[in-house]
Amino acid sequence: MTFLMLTGRTVNQGVTVENKTSAEYAAETSTCFMHGFDMLELGLDDGDTVRVTGPCGDVVMRAAASEEVEMGTVFVPYGPYANHIVAAGTCSTGMPDFKSHRVEIEPTDEEPKMVHELMEDLGGLAYDR
């Protein structure tokens, strides 16, 4: 199913932001907040994993029901998971479209990667696993 992906700050993202190698930061920024009906449509329970595919690739996240998002929209806290699929185009403003990406979401059996694994996939070397 196609969704509009928004990204933004959450308290839990802010609390863990200076500890990016922690499991808590990975868990928060890999959460895909969805409307309950959309989860029903995709056969998802809270905590099930989903593959989110954007214009630049795909990433595995965990779905969570939220009353804050409308049907057809998903919300992902700022971080390396959302940015793994966000395009770098800025329309000559310097600012990517962090809040207006169309993404495909489908259930998957894969687990979300850790932050350092995502960085290693892009050519980095993990320091603190």
Partner 1 sequence: MIVKDAVCPFCGCLCDDIEIEVEEGRVVAVTNACELGTTKFMGEKRMKNPILRDGDEWKDITYDEAIRCAADMLLSAERPLLYGWSGTHGEAQCVGVHMAELIHGVIDNTSSVCHGPSILAIQEVGHPGCTLGVVKNRADLVIYWGSNPIDAHPRHLSRYTRYAEGFFLENAFRDRKVIVIDVRKTQTANVADEFVQIKPGGDYAVISALRAIVQGKADMVPRTVAGVTKEQLIRVANLCKNAKFGAVYFGLGLTMTQGKYKNIRNAIELVSELSRHTKFTISAMRGHYNVYGSNEVNTWMTGYPYGIDFSRGIAFYNPGETTAVDILARKECDAALIVGSDPAAHFPRKCLEHLAEIPVIQLDPYPNATTAFCDIQIPVAVTGIDAEGTAYRMDGVPIRTRKVLSTDYLSDEEVLSRMYALMQEVREQ
Contact residues for partner 1 (CB under 8 A)?
4, 6-11, 14-16, 18-22, 29, 56-57, 67-70, 73, 75, 78-80, 83-100, 115-116, 119-120, 122-128
Closest by Cα among 58, 81, 111, 102 to 10:
81
Nearer Cβ to partner 1 (78/104): 78
DSSP string, 53-108: EETTEEEEEEEEE-SSSPTTEEEEESSHHHHTS-----TTTT---TT-EEEEEEE-
CB of 13 to partner 1, least distance (A): 8
Give the shortest CB-15-to-partner 1 separation in angstroms.
Answer: 5
CB closer to partner 1 out of 23 and 107: 23
